[in-house]
Amino acid sequence: MDSVSGVGVLDKAVHMLGALRREGSLGLADLQRATGLPRATAHRLAVALEEHGLVRRDGNGRFCLGFELIALGHAAAESFPIGELARPVLVALRDSTGESVQLFVREGDERRCVVSLQSPHGLRWIVPEGARLPLDAGSAGRVLLARSTSDWVESDWVESVEEREPGVASVSSAVRGRDGAVLAAVSVSGPIERLTRGPGKRFGRAVADAADTLAKTLAATA
């Protein structure tokens, strides 16, 4: 029942979608509790969203996220050229390292996982595509904090160990545009047991190369 940030319909609608994302599926009363909205308002909103396919009802008549969101999600991913171009490069990186790899972009003072590929190992570290993570923790976060060319010239990659999540280590490298601005961060992450406490030593080169390949691909396309 966390309070709604804004006051407009749109804020409420997004808040409701967020509640449904967290909780999976909710009856009207649950929706009411989860959003803090009055019954009538919650119902009206849910029905309005349903008409647009952003919300649907499951077999029991409970509200849950609608299929239109699947279509929009795909379109959103496709309309991000770096993400599309990165996929083959990231697949190669995952296959060569055997670990989960991600592509992050900066969004305000956070970072967003735009592409996520999972390690084939049984024990793996997964970051959901679309997830929003803090900028001030994790190797990818530090890479994205470097704004200009002058920063971080010392190394091609950055490593972090248990910085954001216990037991998880990662190595990241910047994808830079023509002008040296950091466009995105390529990241390899997994359990410390496999990555060790100095993951850069083993994977730094591969990650930096992947980031570089991606940067070149981008330059060639644009």
If the CB atoms of residues 62 and 112 are measured against DNA, the closer one turns out to be 62
For a second copy, the binding residues (CB under 8 A) are: 8-11, 13-14, 17, 20-21, 24-25, 45, 48-49, 52-54, 56, 64-77, 79-80, 105, 107, 112, 114, 128-132
**Identity of the residue, 60 or 150, whose beta carbon is nearer to DNA in the bound complex:** 60
> What gap in Å lies between CA 181 and CA 176, rounded to an integer?
5
Contact between 206 and DNA by CB under 7 A: the answer reads: no
User: Is 90 within 8 Å of 67 (Cβ atoms)?
Assistant: no
Which tokens in the block code for residue 167?
Answer: 């037991």
Stretch that binds DNA, among 10-18, 84-92, 116-124, 210-218 (CB under 7 A): 10-18
Q: Which is nearer to a second copy, 28 or 77 (CB)?
A: 77
Distance between CA atoms of residues 145 and 125, nearest Å: 23
Q: Which does 21 bind (CB under 5 to 8 A by kind): DNA, a second copy, none?
A: a second copy
Q: What is the 3-state secondary structure (H, E, C) of the chain?
A: CCCCCCCCHHHHHHHHHHHHHHHCEECHHHHHHHHCCCHHHHHHHHHHHHHCCCEEECCCCCEEECCHHHHHHHHHHHCCHHHHHHHHHHHHHHHHHCCEEEEEEEECCEEEEEEEECCCCCCCCCCCCCCEEECCCCHHHHHHHCCCCCCCCCCCCEEEECCCCCCEEEEEEEEECCCCCEEEEEEEEEEHHHHCCCHHHHHHHHHHHHHHHHHHHHHHHC
For residues 49 and 146, which CB has a smaller minimum distance to a second copy in the complex? Answer: 49
**Partner touching 216 among a second copy, DNA, none, CB below 5 to 8 Å by kind:** none
Candidates 2, 47, 78, 107; binder of DNA (CB under 7 A) is 47
Q: Judged by CB under 7 A, does residue 62 bind DNA?
A: yes
CA-based nearest residue to 109, from 148, 149, 144, 81:
144
Q: How far is the CB of 92 from a second copy (least distance, A)?
A: 19
Using an 8 Å Cβ cutoff, are 187 and 102 in contact? yes
Sole binder of DNA in the list 39, 132, 178, 216 (CB under 7 A) = 39
44/194 with CB nearer DNA: 44
Query: Which of 21, 24, 29, 78 is in the footprint of DNA by CB under 7 A?
Result: 29
* Least spacing, CB of residue 28 vs DNA, in Å: 3
45 forms part of the interface with DNA (CB under 7 A):
yes
Nearer to DNA, 48 or 131 (CB): 48
Interface residues with DNA (CB under 7 A) are: 7-12, 27-29, 37-41, 43-45, 47, 61-62
